[in-house]
A and B are shown apart, each in its own frame.
Chain A
Amino acid sequence: MTAVLKARDVSVTLGAGPTRKAVLTDASLALRRGEVTAIIGPNGAGKSTLLACLAGLRAPDHGAVTLGDVPLERVSARERGQRIGFLPQVAEVNWDIDVATLVSLGRLPHQGRWEQSAADLAAMADALAATDTAQFASRVVGTLSGGERARALLARVLAGQPEFLLADEPLANLDPRHQFDVLALMRQVATRGVGVVLVLHDLAHAMRVADRVVMMDSGRIAADGDPAAVLTPDRIAAVYGVASHPVTLADGAPGLVLSGPC
């Protein structure tokens, strides 16, 4: 339970010559299991790139990502797949597979070459139950509504029983109710000891759901810590150019209202 996913001085540059652009500069952070971390920042701030580095999808040009003190590039692809789950921003699902088959794909890093073990089947059933998707397990993914689809895709990642779950904008294209549902699910997942990392655009959600907020600006980590300490009106104004007001919600939780450009 002590394994930590860490980025140390991670830098990424894209392009070459005059179009060369630093998309990530000296980003350092340590992610712990059982915690919900929200990565926020304006478009182009480097959120997705940072997430791709943490998922092992992109090797940083400088710096290192380590999983429990082992550099990520030295962890085998299979072990990385077992320990880090990744939910891409645009989920692609080919071949008209049904939800049960989709979820079974989440077991690929664990599975033997031919057969699914009892542990595989148990993890799949568990993931279907946790996301409340068992009732449409036999439906083709393409026929699901947006909310159902989001839960099915999440079930796929959970079936892999990862130590860390990295989700790139999991709330995109969801209506408010489904956004809350997915966030509640993410919280539940963290309670089971998974380190949850969410790239979010909605600052109010970040304020409400995250244990910790990492705010990015122009490829750098501008602030990292407790949501209320990071999401101050001054910082939001400086990074986003938007006026904001912290509020206290009916249940006593901290909230945030944005009132317009400033």
Chain B
Amino acid sequence: MKAQRLPLLIPALLVALVLVSGLSILAGKVWIAPAELFAGDDRWPIIVELRLPRVVLALLIGGGLGMAGAAMQGYLRNPLADPGLFGVSATAALGAVISIFFGLAATPMVLSGFALAGAALAVLLLSAIAGQSGSVIVFTLAGVVISSLAGALTALVISLAPTPFATGQIVNWLMGALTDRSWDDVMLAAPLIVLGMIVIASAGRALDALTLGEAAARTLGMRPAVLQAQIVIGVGLVVGASVAASGIIGFVGLIVPHLIRPLTNRRPSAVLLPSALAGALLLLVADSAVRAAPTVSELRLGIAMSLLGAPFFLALLLNMRRQIG
């Protein structure tokens, strides 16, 4: 009756994270051997100012999205749920796109600020529409409406872009990447993502109760309105800050909980932490790969994730079909 089916799951993921983080710092278009690292090498700034913030961001965003995905699947009791479902990522992207449209994105942190404002707007709208009912259906529909509205507005902004250059900049940003991120980006995203993950983790017990359906969960002490607030705020913080820092990176929140769930006892709370660790690992591996790959211009991380994610998801569906059939 241990919480984990594989008791070594979390330690194994932690070890893998440390190893891959170390490797990711050393590897790139310029390989830096560990022995040269502490010798006062003039490549030291490459590590501290370029690679390290990027590694930290990949860990934070991957971890946040992995956990947010696990929480969303637990909350909606649906293995197909994804952190973007509530429209938070779409409105955050809209905010960022608006800042690029008005040419404000050159000023540091303005784009992130706009994206966070967009995410906050989605959270407020969701709360206002779903109200105190705690109803999952009203809530999800509200998210879908907000998401498609923000998507339409983003398309409108792109079509109205003043120059082809601005259009290109917007489209390029939307694809999601961690290229050229600085410590400023880390400082902005880190507190929000960590806080969001703490809020999500505090909902673990209520998510477990929801395994038995809404009525039984309520008789086990789950309070629908409280849980809904935890999910909206937790997922909102994680996804909003992630999109602000990196653009939209799909599939992490969808795939990772799937991979992790069979390795646990499948209680939603038992999936949260391993999903965070595995999400961090996956995004770090993917980002290191696009960074170190010998391509002329770097492959966008968002594209790489989707290229990786789509075949995986297809395999998952085929596997599900075999189990049903």
Contact = CB atoms under 8 A, between A and B. Distances in A.
13 contacts: A56-B219, A57-B218, A77-B218, A81-B221, A92-B216, A93-B212, A95-B77, A97-B211, A104-B267, A105-B220, A106-B220, A113-B205, A116-B1
B189 interface: no
A57 B223 contact: no
Nearest to B79: A95
Report the 9 A-B pairs with minimum CB-CB distance, sorted nearest first. Answer: A92-B213, A81-B221, A86-B219, A78-B221, A95-B266, A109-B221, A77-B221, A94-B77, A101-B265
Interface of B: 1, 3, 77, 202, 204-205, 208-213, 215-216, 218-223, 261, 265-268
Contacts of A6: none
Question: Which interface residue of A78, A97, A98, A156 has the most chain B CB atoms within 10 A?
Answer: A97
Contacts of B205: 108, 111, 113
A56 B221 CA distance: 10
Contacts of A258: none
A78 B202 CA distance: 15
A105 B219 contact: no
Given A56-B218, A104-B267, A160-B220, 15 more contacts: A77-B222, A88-B215, A90-B213, A91-B212, A91-B216, A93-B211, A94-B77, A94-B213, A96-B266, A101-B267, A104-B1, A105-B208, A105-B209, A108-B209, A113-B205
B313 to A, nearest CB: 19
A97 B265 contact: yes
Contact of A86 (B3, B216, B266, B267): B216
Question: Which interface residue of B205, B212, B261 has the most chain A CB atoms within 10 A?
Answer: B212
Nearest to A107: B220
Contacts of A156: 212
B215 A57 contact: yes
B221 A97 contact: no
Nearest to A90: B213
Nearest to B204: A113
A55 interface: yes
A95 B211 contact: yes
A100 interface: yes
